[in-house]
Amino acid sequence: MTIREYISKKKPIHIIGIGGVSMSALAELLLSLGVPVTGSDKSHSKVAERLERLGAKITYAHLAENVENTSLVVRTAAVHDDNPEIIRAREKNIPVMERAEAWGNLMTDYKNVVCISGTHGKTTTTSMMTLIAMQANADPTVMVGSHLPAINGTLRIGGKGCFVAESCEYCNSFLNFSPTIAVILNIEADHLDFFKDLDDIIHSFHMFALRTPEKNGVVIVNGDDKNAMKAVEKVDRKIITFGLNKNCDVYAENITSKNGYYSFDIIINGEKYTNVTLSVPGKHNMLNALAAVAAAYELKMPSEKVAEGLEKFTGSSRRFQKIGKLKCGAVVVDDYAHHPSEMRATLETARLMNFNRIICAFQPHTYTRTKALFNEFVDALKMCDKAILAPIYAAREQNTIGIYSSDIAKEVPNAIAFDTFEQIEDYLRENAKDGDLIITMGAGNINSIGYSLVEKDC
């Protein structure tokens, strides 16, 4: 059975890790359809509490008895077969479905499904596409990987005409999705705890492009990215390229920048489509906008609504998000960047913004990524005036490699590594000055430092 059959019969569905971004969105969608939902998680959160108010029954522990009265169990790749709930489900012959498979099956109910993929920029581009579709009155259903103020969360339940979905390559999750329009923003080496190498990653994106329908499927790809272009070789679909060179189908022209914020004309098939002024800084966001515009154009959304939607997008959570300003005058922002290319894009943007010093408190994310991209991390951190390293965020890993943040600090001039967030916070409070930009950077919990700095400074 597919998840749609469980939904139609209103059979109870249990979600392991219900507080996660994608899982909580799935739970909310199921609840909106009248499906009884139970779930489990390791800890309380505002997200889980909201789901409880909507009707979900949540246990804050992974226990075998949690699945006793369910018909289907949904899990993520992070939940392994030794989880007691999975073991019990198998004993009782209760079907176990991967999260991505569930989402992919749900997508088939929608006329247009825009799946946005890439090593970097997925959340931002998905958010941009959401604002465009809302402005164009397309009533989109949306699944995005970070809190988006415009929809007050990570899920928007809309009509059946348009589904906009952030699509992650890790563990090949996006190969379960059902895009009518597949967007490939860029491809770099990442998630090497799962993929063999860069060629393996490119192959995965190639298969993602082939998930679009044979008759009318569309693939939108970054024409400036050689790996992305390699991924769409021999893909027998309509291919639309975007980029900053005039060989692309969709490109930017007459580009101007003011304090890091870009304005530009968008040219499609040789003709001016619209003019855009972005409300988020950085050259990388110009490329993200071009990708969103290409998808909107394919969906025949009015050009003036596209421009208005992009202008209304002021950012999503943890993407160069301003946390506050300290009494000394230093500005504190937070950014999710955890791959060297993302870090460089963020720091290049910061360099355009007329601060005296850029201080970056960086938390590396996973031991395998830190080892695989060690030299690239070193080069990226050399772009700031002062690099402060927090301990590596383990996520799903154990440090069997024997690598530490202090190893990076030794290679970056003037860098320093601390063992605790408290030490980092104390250092920043003592050393921050007027004209400084303090960036907390990483995909872990480094953002808590910025909030603590601002709150205690009030």
d(CA 159, CA 131): 15
Furthest C-alpha separation in the chain:
64
For residue 141, CA distances in Å to 157, 163, 195, 439 come to 5, 5, 31, 32
Angle between helices 283-298 and 122-135 (to 10 degrees): 50
Q: How many Cβ atoms are within 10 Å of 76's Cβ, its own excluded?
A: 16
For the chain, state the CA radius of gyration: 22
d(CA 138, CA 197): 39
CB 450 within 8 Å of CB 388: no
Among the options 28, 70, 130, 166, which is catalytic? Answer: 166
Tokens of 30: 């199921």
Backbone angles phi, psi at 124, to 5 degrees: -65, -45
d(CA 415, CA 291): 36
Which one, of 279, 262, 364, 263, lies nearest residue 322 by Cα?
A: 279
Q: How many Cβ atoms are within 10 Å of 157's Cβ, its own excluded?
A: 15
Among the options 119, 122, 349, 366, which is catalytic? Answer: 122
Let me know if 123 is a catalytic residue: yes
What DSSP letter does each residue of 208-224 carry, written as one string?
A: HHTTS-TTT-EEEEETT
Query: 96-98 and 436-441: which strand pairing?
Result: unpaired
Tokens of 295: 């998808």
Which one, of 407, 351, 357, 350, lies nearest residue 378 by Cα?
A: 407
Let me know if 11 is a catalytic residue: no
Let me know if 212 is a catalytic residue: no
Positions marked catalytic: 122-123, 166
